[in-house]
Chains A and B, each alone.
Chain A
Amino acid sequence: MSKNLDFVKFDKVDKSYDGKVLVVKDLNLDIAEGEFITMLGPSGSGKTTCLMMLAGFETPTNGEIYLDKNPISNIPPHKRGIGMVFQNYALFPHMTVYENLAFPLKVRKFQKDEIDKKVDKALSMVSLSGFEHRMPGQLSGGQQQRVAVARSLVFDPQLVLMDEPLGALDKNLRESMQYEIKHIHESIGVTVVYVTHDQSEALTMSNRIAVFNDGKVQQLSSPDKLYEEPVNSFVAEFIGENNTFAGQVTNMSAKECKVKLNDGTEIVANPISVKSNGDKTTVSLRPERALINTKEKMDNNFKGKIEEVIYHGDHTRVRLDLLGNKEFILKVPNSSANMDIKMGNLINVSWNSHDARALDPK
Chain B
Amino acid sequence: MSSETGKILTTDGIPLEVSLKKAERKNKIKAFLLVAPLLLFLLITYIFPIGDMLMRSVDDKMVTEMLPKTFKSMEKWDGKELPSEEVFESFYLDFQKLVEEKRDGKLSTQLNYTKNGFKSILKKLRRKAKNFEEGNYKEQIMAVHQRWADVEYWRAIQRRAPAYTSQKYLKGIDMYKNEEGNIVSVEEDRRIHRILWLRTLEIAFFVTLLCFLMAYPIAHLLATLPMKYSNLLMICVLLPFWTSLLVRTASWMILLQQQGVVNDFFVMIGLVADDSRPEMMFNKTGTYVAMTQILLPFMVLPLYSVMKTISPSLMRAGKSLGGTPFVAFWKVYFPLTIPGIGAGCLLVFILAIGYYITPALVGGASGTLISNQIAFHMKSTLDWSFASAMGLMLLAGVLAIYWVYNKLVGVDNIKLG
B319:A76 contact, CB within 8 angstroms: yes
B311:A88 contact, CB within 8 angstroms: yes
A83:B323 contact, CB within 8 angstroms: no
Q: CA separation between A103 and B317, bound complex, in Å?
A: 10
Contact with B along A87-102 (1 / 0, CB 8 A): 1101111100000000
Nearest chain B CB to A82 CB, angstrom units: 6
List, in ascending order, chain A residues with CB within 8 A of B328's CB.
Answer: 78
Q: CA separation between A151 and B313, bound complex, in Å?
A: 14
List, in ascending order, chain B residues with CB within 8 A of A80's CB.
Answer: 320
Q: CA separation between A77 and B323, bound complex, in Å?
A: 9
Q: Does B324 sit within 8 A of A, measured CB to CB? A: yes
Nearest chain B CB to A140 CB, angstrom units: 19
Q: Does A310 sit within 8 A of B, measured CB to CB? A: no
Which of A57, A80, A82 neighbours the largest number of chain B CB atoms within 10 Å of its CB? A57
Q: Does B336 sit within 8 A of A, measured CB to CB? A: yes
B324:A90 contact, CB within 8 angstroms: no
List, in ascending order, chain B residues with CB within 8 A of A57's CB.
Answer: 316, 319-320
B324:A78 contact, CB within 8 angstroms: yes
Q: Does B34 sit within 8 A of A, measured CB to CB? A: no
Contact with A along B33-59 (1 / 0, CB 8 A): 000000000000000000000000000
Contact with A along B292-321 (1 / 0, CB 8 A): 000000000000000000010110111111
Nearest chain B CB to A75 CB, angstrom units: 12
Size of the B side of the interface (Cβ < 8 Å), in residues, is 19
Nearest chain B CB to A274 CB, angstrom units: 45
List, in ascending order, chain B residues with CB within 8 A of A152's CB.
Answer: 321
Q: Does B332 sit within 8 A of A, measured CB to CB? A: yes
Q: Does A155 sit within 8 A of B, measured CB to CB? A: yes
B322:A87 contact, CB within 8 angstroms: no
List, in ascending order, chain B residues with CB within 8 A of A79's CB.
Answer: 322
**Given the contacts A76-B319, A92-B332, A86 and B313 also touching, CB distance less than 8 Å:** yes
A86:B323 contact, CB within 8 angstroms: no
A155:B321 contact, CB within 8 angstroms: yes
**Given the contacts A78-B328, A92-B332, A104 and B322 also touching, CB distance less than 8 Å:** yes
A78:B313 contact, CB within 8 angstroms: no
Nearest-neighbor residue (CB-CB) of B315 within chain A: A90
Partner of A82 from the list B314, B320, B327 (CB cut-off 8 Å) is B320
List, in ascending order, chain A residues with CB within 8 A of B316's CB.
Answer: 55, 57, 77, 84, 86, 90
A93:B336 contact, CB within 8 angstroms: yes
A78:B311 contact, CB within 8 angstroms: no
Q: CA separation between A304 and B319, bound complex, in Å?
A: 59
Q: Does B15 sit within 8 A of A, measured CB to CB? A: no
Which of A77, A79, A108 neighbours the largest number of chain B CB atoms within 10 Å of its CB? A77
Q: CA separation between A87 and B316, bound complex, in Å?
A: 12
A94:B336 contact, CB within 8 angstroms: yes
Q: Does A361 sit within 8 A of B, measured CB to CB? A: no
Q: Does B331 sit within 8 A of A, measured CB to CB? A: yes
B320:A78 contact, CB within 8 angstroms: yes
Q: Does B181 sit within 8 A of A, measured CB to CB? A: no
List, in ascending order, chain B residues with CB within 8 A of A93's CB.
Answer: 336
B322:A92 contact, CB within 8 angstroms: no
Q: Does B325 sit within 8 A of A, measured CB to CB? A: yes
A107:B327 contact, CB within 8 angstroms: yes
A90:B317 contact, CB within 8 angstroms: yes
B319:A87 contact, CB within 8 angstroms: no
Q: CA separation between A79 and B313, bound complex, in Å?
A: 17
A90:B335 contact, CB within 8 angstroms: no
**Given the contacts A90-B311, A94-B335, A94-B336, A81 and B317 also touching, CB distance less than 8 Å:** no
B311:A151 contact, CB within 8 angstroms: no
Nearest-neighbor residue (CB-CB) of B321 within chain A: A104
B336:A83 contact, CB within 8 angstroms: no
A90:B314 contact, CB within 8 angstroms: yes
B320:A103 contact, CB within 8 angstroms: no
Contact with A along B317-353 (1 / 0, CB 8 A): 1111111110110011001100000000000000000
List, in ascending order, chain B residues with CB within 8 A of A83's CB.
Answer: 320-321
Partner of A103 from the list B325, B331, B335, B336 (CB cut-off 8 Å) is B331
Nearest chain A CB to B355 CB, angstrom units: 34
Partner of A92 from the list B314, B319, B324 (CB cut-off 8 Å) is B314
Which of B322, B325, B328 neighbours the largest number of chain A CB atoms within 10 Å of its CB? B322
A108:B335 contact, CB within 8 angstroms: no
B residues 57-100 near A (Cβ < 8 Å) are none
Nearest chain B CB to A53 CB, angstrom units: 13
A87:B323 contact, CB within 8 angstroms: no
Nearest-neighbor residue (CB-CB) of A86 within chain B: B313
List, in ascending order, chain B residues with CB within 8 A of A104's CB.
Answer: 321-323
Nearest chain B CB to A165 CB, angstrom units: 12
A77:B319 contact, CB within 8 angstroms: yes
Nearest-neighbor residue (CB-CB) of B323 within chain A: A107
List, in ascending order, chain A residues with CB within 8 A of B311's CB.
Answer: 88, 90
Q: CA separation between A92 and B319, bound complex, in Å?
A: 12
Nearest chain A CB to B197 CB, angstrom units: 37
List, in ascending order, chain A residues with CB within 8 A of B314's CB.
Answer: 90, 92
A103:B323 contact, CB within 8 angstroms: yes
Q: CA separation between A84 and B321, bound complex, in Å?
A: 8
Partner of A108 from the list B319, B320, B322 (CB cut-off 8 Å) is B322
List, in ascending order, chain A residues with CB within 8 A of B320's CB.
Answer: 55-57, 77-78, 80, 82-84
List, in ascending order, chain A residues with CB within 8 A of B317's CB.
Answer: 84, 86, 90-92
Q: CA separation between A76 and B321, bound complex, in Å?
A: 12
B321:A151 contact, CB within 8 angstroms: yes
Nearest chain B CB to A103 CB, angstrom units: 6
Q: CA separation between A245 and B66, bound complex, in Å?
A: 110
Instruction: List the 5 shortest-distance A-B pairs measured between CB atoms, nearest first.
Output: A104-B321, A90-B317, A90-B313, A84-B320, A77-B319
A-B contact pairs, 8 of them (CB 8 A): A77-B320, A79-B322, A86-B313, A90-B314, A103-B318, A103-B323, A107-B321, A155-B321
Interface residues of A (CB under 8 A from B): 55-57, 76-84, 86-88, 90-94, 103-104, 107-108, 151-152, 155
